[in-house]
Amino acid sequence: MSSRDARTPTKPSKKTLDRDAWLKKALDVLFANGIAQVKIEVLARKLKLTKGSFYWHFKNRDDLLRSMVDWWRENQLRFIATLNQHEVEHAAHVIKAVINFTQHTDDSNHDIAMREFARFNKYAARAVVEVDEQRTAYLATLFRAATFSEAEALLRARALYFYQVGEYTTALALDPKLRDDLAERQFKLLICRPLDE
């Protein structure tokens, strides 16, 4: 019997087995309080679970941090893969839907947290690069499907992506109505044809 078997119950509760809850809470704490507060004791208290539940899923704090990065990356890439399965015959509509989604998602806090962590953690930095590359590649695919040239598609994909990331990583507050109006104007600007066509 391993030491892991000795310290975990034979039939842990469903809540104890919820590994995603630990990882999501770790990202929440990373966003709110910084990496120094991503501690086993802090997470257990916030989740109202025992440290034994933690050791059911993770060897130690380092294992948690690495798993947190993997979990964030896998969720982001899975989301992109799901989007890629959709038809792009009406690419302009999909582009507009992407813009609207990013205006109203609550997922941006985890993105901000991971980018901050990536500033001093190489493993997290590689994950952020991978996600950014796939996100911009997907957007470029949409603009190509909307009959823009390769260069124009890449320009629009990067402009849209950098706008989105910049908007939720800055502290500039926007009135929701103004934000929605700007999103509509952003879509019209990005989908209009180049002047030299």
In-domain check, residue 24: no
CA nearest 116: which of 34, 20, 8, 4? 34
Return the percentage of the chain with pLDDT > 70, whole number: 85
The pTM (predicted TM-score) of the whole model is 0.81
Cβ atoms within 10 Å, residue 75: 16
Cα 178 from Cα 161, distance rounded (Å): 19
In-domain check, residue 122: yes
The pLDDT assigned to 101 comes to 76
Name which residue leads in pLDDT, 83 or 125. 125
In-domain check, residue 196: yes
Cβ atoms within 10 Å, residue 157: 23
Cα 78 from Cα 83, distance rounded (Å): 9
What tokens does 189 get? 């600007």
In-domain check, residue 81: no
Q: Which DSSP letter does residue 37 get?
A: G
User: How many domains are contained in the chain?
Assistant: 1
Range of the domain at 149: 87-197
In-domain check, residue 4: no
In-domain check, residue 61: no
Buried/exposed 135-145: b ≥16 CB within 10 Å, e otherwise: bbebbbbbbbb
In-domain check, residue 190: yes
pLDDT of 4-24, one tens digit each?
444 444 444 444 458 999 999
What tokens does 23 get? 């990882």
Q: What residue type is 64 in one-letter code?
A: L
pLDDT of 20-76, one tens digit each?
999 999 999 999 999 999 999 999 999 999 899 999 999 999 999 999 999 999 998
In-domain check, residue 187: yes
| Nearest-5° Cα angle at 140, 171 to 123 | 60
